[in-house]
Amino acid sequence: MMSSCSILNPQKVENILKKTTICPTTWIDPALLLPDDILHSIFSYLSCADLYNVRLVNKYWHRNTPSYIVCFFDEFIFRKKIPSISSHHDYLESTISSLRASQSRLIKADKRILDVTYNTHQNIDEITKLLDEHDFHEVYLRFICAHRYNSLGYIFQSKSLTILHLTKCGFFNDVFYGLEIIPSLQELKLENVAVCEDNLSEFVTTKCPYIRELSLVNCPWLRDIVIPKLDRLKKLYVKMIDNYYTYINIQVIASSLQVFHFVFRSHRRAAVAHMDIRACRMLREFYLDCLKFPIGLHHENICSDFPHLETLLMRSCETEKPLKILGLSLKKCVLSFPPQYEYSRQIIVSVPNSSFFQYMDTPILSSLAPSSDTSELLESIILVLVPQVHVMNRGWFLKLRSHLESFSNYNTILDLRICVETSYFVGKLNGRTSTIPLHHIKHLMLEMIELKFQRKYLMRYIIDNLLWMSHPNSLTLSVPTSFASLAYGVSKELFDRRNGNCCSGLHHENIC
């Protein structure tokens, strides 16, 4: 934490909020009633990017936003010719002189941010020494070309450093010499950084025990990622793509971890990830994107080790075993399976308390629907479908209708997105689905921005069948601008034949 931050009194904040009267006609945002000192303390924990947005909300928030100064230097912008040793020295001198000229403003600012990009690492010791002098809170250090033996010791000696992002630089034992614990560091991101497993584990455990967010992006030497006991870690992002790894091991022991994103894309089709995150019992958001289902996760129920999981996003994971997703705590579920996946293999999904359910890049499957075998259901659900549709015909709409029946216990908002692979039969399109409407679909959102064959009769056929089977109260169309008038005309023509309150509210959105 920053030394300038005062400690918030939870009881004081609670008393203020209790005094807030909320009336339907004169509602007042409770945040506007907070005293200046509390509001200022809250904002002092935000990053520079968040502070920029906070200042734009209103004058009251702008007045209570901590003062900050951003020192931005980019060697690409500075130089006007092919880089050379001379131009690099000129850039360094300009950077140093600018920092010294801004010294008075840096001292007065509540937050000091340094964002610097180098083409090479030569002779940057003078600038890194300035980091110790000015005690920056946020440091973003990038190198255009990867350099593996940079001395970064001065960066970690800052007493107020809260956010550190490093890109294309070395991370070796020299970093640790004479270095004590950095209690203020909250966020660390390493992108294309040459760091070995032992150095990473040692650094985060011995030097950054209070870190709350860790991001590892395409670090070339990492095969075994071990995140030992970090009780304060809340968010972990691991992204390894465009590589030739045959495997990657990841073990995380973080009792307070709430968000975990894991993306692993190797050019080797047989590459597999070994994952052990069973100790992360407080996990609430899990994003999984890899070619093969990781070894270590349970096929029988991916949610079994995470009783508090609320959001699951799973993409492109091949598995040789039946997959079950069973979670009472899940509120948002997004699934995507690769085209080569064997859809005949049963996929069991039981998320009865979900309020948002989406699957994409797959055919319509009745098994890919939340089970409704419990009486404790939510009143409404947002259903987003981005299916593979090769041929649009009566049979496809029958499958869709059968699938939508699985949501009969919900007031459903259906968001259907027809993509580029959709085709149609040569000749006349006819054949409607069952005449018994699905009354639980209250709002239909239809997106045909990427429809491959934008023909009037195909558009009419799609809208007609969807309205015939659902009878929604409102319809929202998203179509290209060039096709908007035609789509609106077709829709209006069909609305004239509607029954009761079907499509009483019509909205259309034009997309260029």
The answer, yes or no, to whether residue 247 has pLDDT greater than 80, is: yes
Lowest mean pLDDT among 59-68, 96-105, 334-343: 334-343
Quick one: average pLDDT of 433-449? 75
Rounded CA gap, 115 and 89, in Å? 18
At 269, the pLDDT band (50, 70, 90 cuts) reads confident
The answer, yes or no, to whether residue 335 has pLDDT greater than 70, is: yes
Q: Specify which of 57-61, 163-167, 446-450 reaches the highest per-range mean pLDDT.
A: 163-167
Query: In this predicted model, what pLDDT tens digit does every residue of 161-206 receive, in sequence order?
Result: 899 998 887 766 655 555 678 888 999 999 988 888 888 888 888 8
Go through 164-200 and write b for each residue having 16 or more CB atoms within 10 A of its CB, e for each that does not. Answer: bbbbbbbbeeebeeeeeebebbbbbbbbebbbbeebb
CA-wise closest residue to 98 among 127, 119, 59: 127
Quick one: average pLDDT of 305-325? 86
Predicted local distance difference test score (pLDDT) of residue 279: 93
Predicted local distance difference test score (pLDDT) of residue 203: 82
Rounded CA gap, 396 and 402, in Å? 10
Share of the chain above pLDDT 70, in %: 70
Burial class (CB in 10 A: 0-12, 13-18, 19+), 120: middle
The answer, yes or no, to whether residue 120 has pLDDT greater than 60, is: yes
Rounded CA gap, 305 and 199, in Å? 29
The answer, yes or no, to whether residue 99 has pLDDT greater than 90, is: no
Lowest mean pLDDT among 16-20, 85-89, 434-438: 16-20
Predicted local distance difference test score (pLDDT) of residue 239: 95
CA-wise closest residue to 73 among 44, 49, 97: 97
What is the average pLDDT score of the chain?
76
Predicted local distance difference test score (pLDDT) of residue 250: 94
Query: In this predicted model, what pLDDT tens digit does every residue of 363-384 receive, in sequence order?
Result: 666 556 555 544 344 556 777 8
The answer, yes or no, to whether residue 440 has pLDDT greater than 70, is: yes
Beta strands in 106-146 (DSSP E): 111-118, 138-143
Burial class (CB in 10 A: 0-12, 13-18, 19+), 20: middle
At 280, the pLDDT band (50, 70, 90 cuts) reads very high
Burial class (CB in 10 A: 0-12, 13-18, 19+), 84: exposed
CA-wise closest residue to 241 among 226, 262, 257, 224: 262
Query: In this predicted model, what pLDDT tens digit does every residue of 394-425 receive, in sequence order?
Result: 778 888 887 787 776 667 788 887 765 555 55
